[in-house]
Structure 1
Amino acid sequence: MPFSVSWHTLLDELEELSDGATLITPLSHERFRITDIQEHRVIIQIDETGEKRPLQREQFETLYRRVTEESGGFELDRLPPDAEPYSAVLSVHPRFEIDEERGVILERDGPTTTQLLDDAGDSERGQEKRTEPDLDVYADALLLVDALERHEVDVLEDMETDALVNLYTLLSDVQRNANDLRQNVADVLLNRLHHDRPVSGPFGSVQRTTRRNRSLKDEDDVLDTLEHAGIDPERVMGVDRGKVDDALEVTELSERDVYEITESEYVRKAEVDEDRKETRLQGLKDQLAATDGTEAEELREEIEELEDRIEELTEFKSGHAFHTPAEGGP
């Protein structure tokens, strides 16, 4: 599709934005507004400084070319200085979207989201409907965040017992369910990773690592093998691992002669980009603070429903919880 067609589609979409609609840049999370739309440029105003800045059609075309030529999306880190607003504005186009978790702007065939924080005229236009993942850890995490916001957890000693019980329950559930999901993710990643080739994401990187495990072979076989090597079986009677290792040091036997050795593959965390995580977290806080209207009300109702569910699961029932039958009783 010629850029001229996409350019006029973008201008039409910008014209339909309500007065006061605010966009946010994907990396620095700088807020700005569209103040004027012209044939060859778009004028924006930065909220924090009040500075007005023209965004030229030629620069949009350059970004458009780079995005459409990259099959996996164009990496936002490759944007020139002060070019972030171009990507945010381009996301208003119905075929372009910014994936902040992957750090890319890309072209899609289906519905897309935008960098709009609010649009009083039509807050859901051009955006996918938010859905709740069918994961236990998702519900537990929402409730945990809510609990952490409602209680002064910096001083646990001052918290009521029932609040501590609920907090402990949520922490335990999040840990268990998150670890189950982490293992499932690791199983999929294992098939995509290669040794000595870390793979990076916005928040950190992982790499494939080999874990080496040893277990002694059949005891009689071990004793017979050591005896043929000139080692008195009584020295390792009982096949104590420490004694077997001592015996190996004075013979030419290898570990595999007396140990069953297996290797298993697993994924371990190599490093964490704390700065990137903090930036993303601040962006989520900004978007939550700017959310209003129907979407915010639906989110509050969803959290309240989840809280009711967890309270039903964790409340103590008199006569049932921690009840131990007397000795000799039924």
Structure 2
Amino acid sequence: MTFRLTWHNLLNELEALPSDTTFVTPLSRTPFRITGVQEHRVLIKYRESSETIPLQREQFETLSERVVEAVGGFDLNRLPTDAEPYATILSVHPQFDVDDHEGTLAATDIGTATSLVDVDQDVGDDRDEPDLAVYGDALLLIDALERHDPTALDEMETPDLVNLYTLLSDVQRNANDLRQDVRRVLLGRLHHDQPVHGQYGSVQRTTRRSRTLKPDDEVLGLLEAEGIDRERVLSVDRNKVDDALDVTSLTETDVYDIEESEYVRKADVDEEVKETRLQGLKDRLATADENGTEDLQREIEELEARIDELTSFSSGKSLRSPSSGES
């Protein structure tokens, strides 16, 4: 297939999409929209910018040739940030496929739907309630924060403070469990320490280094072979000191500097009361009238707009030409 035919098929695919379709770049996950489809270029505008950026047909052709020639898919990390929208838009063509896990763009004989296009759904679409503990705890916490002023904690009654502390503790624990699950999946999708951006922030693959000493005899033997006296590296073992306190007249304060600090520990959670209150909140949400739903949607859209204004990522305009050594 010549690129002329590929190009016109791509333009047809783009024109068939709703005008409010949101696209995201494959690596930085920066959202943008198409503002115009022309014979020799596609006009885009990043969500956080008012600048219209033209994407030229010749650059699409260059990227298409590299993708077709690449064995195992074209590595998207070879793209400069400014060129990411080219890959997104090219993936709209059914014969080009983006693999988020491998970070590649490949030609395919099987028509595929791109994962980089988000067609806005109607406000009235049903939303599934996630079966997650953090979801219910977060609803209860939101309710508590709406009924009490968290900026005036000193004025709150003690039972209300206990409720707030309990819910905060539950949300923290369950959110951290979910965060670790999300982190495990993300690790398989992040490539080459390059930041990946979402609407609310960005993440980057990082390596943490930890050390654990090998068995004492092995370590001491190696050090002694290098002329290091074992007495120089031996330290007091707290467990052995505690054992010694049990069979001597020494007290804990003789061998330890002790500092005490007080803190609040969650002692118990009344799951039955939480479930009753949570069901009441869910019933209120389910029976909300249409006007209330529309008001909530407007508030969400206004909040997203404010977040977008505060979220700034670099935008791009052209596809970098390969060096003479690249294929």
Question: Is the strand fraction higher in 1 or 2?
Answer: 1
TM-score using structure 1 length: 0.43
Q: Which has the higher contact order (CA 8 A, sep 6+)?
A: 2
TM-score using structure 2 length: 0.43
